[in-house]
């Protein structure tokens, strides 16, 4: 979704609302596969005494992969975003602003960046997920495996530490 902002930049007090849904052109993360219909985005852009701000939220559901047991599970996401927009920047060292070239805001790609930035480093299906047995590969959430009792308890403690 590209939004034309020339009018907003030029007119104090003007406002534009948006509400749309899109599927990103690239994957957000290797651990996430988006459910249909994609990412729902809503919010507004307004010119308040010459300062143009963008605020809104993105919502989506996805199947994500647990980093401990590798099982997929459903998760709902909600990411809020706020930015100040400018159409030119005299001091281009300033990271606080988004520079909107030619007054066309590429909102979908900005939202994707915000989502990726907000994602946790890893997902767990459950805080208590027991993961996979490091020896036989069995998913220990579905019950203990046969080799578990052979593991030296000191080794088990070490593995637990590494896992955390």
Site residues, Zn ion (CB under 5 A) = 66, 68-69, 125, 129, 133, 135-136, 145, 147
Q: CB of residue 57 vs Zn ion: minimum separation in angstroms?
A: 28
Q: CB nearer to Zn ion: give 104 or 151.
A: 151
Residue 112's nearest CA partner among 35, 5, 39 is 39
Helix, strand, coil abundance in the chain, percent, nearest 5: 25, 40, 40
Q: CB nearer to Zn ion: give 69 or 112.
A: 69
**What is d(CA 84, CA 101) in angstroms, rounded to the nearest whole number?**
14
Q: CB nearer to Zn ion: give 111 or 125.
A: 125
Q: CB nearer to Zn ion: give 95 or 150.
A: 150
Q: Which residues contact 127 (CB under 8 A, 6 or more apart)?
A: none
Q: Pairing relation of β-strands 72-86 and 97-99?
A: parallel
Q: CB of residue 143 vs Zn ion: minimum separation in angstroms?
A: 11
Q: CB of residue 89 vs Zn ion: minimum separation in angstroms?
A: 45
């Amino acid at each position: 979704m590209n939004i034309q902002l020339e009018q907003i930049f030029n007119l104090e007090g003007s406002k534009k609302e948006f509400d749309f849904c899109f599927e990103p052109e690239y994957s957000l993360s290797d651990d996430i596969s988006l459910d249909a219909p994609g990412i729902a985005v809503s919010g507004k852009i307004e010119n308040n005494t010459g300062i143009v701000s963008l605020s809104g939220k993105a919502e989506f559901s996805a199947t994500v992969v647990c980093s401990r047991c590798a099982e997929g599970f459903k998760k709902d996401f909600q990411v809020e975003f706020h930015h100040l927009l400018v159409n030119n920047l005299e001091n281009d060292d300033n990271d606080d602003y988004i520079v909107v070239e030619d007054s066309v805001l590429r909102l979908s790609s900005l939202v994707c960046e915000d989502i990726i930035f907000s994602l946790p480093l890893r997902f767990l299906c459950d805080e208590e997920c027991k993961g996979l047995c490091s020896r036989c590969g069995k998913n220990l959430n579905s019950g203990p495996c046969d080799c578990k009792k052979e593991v030296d308890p000191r080794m088990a403690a070490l593995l637990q530490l590494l896992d955390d």
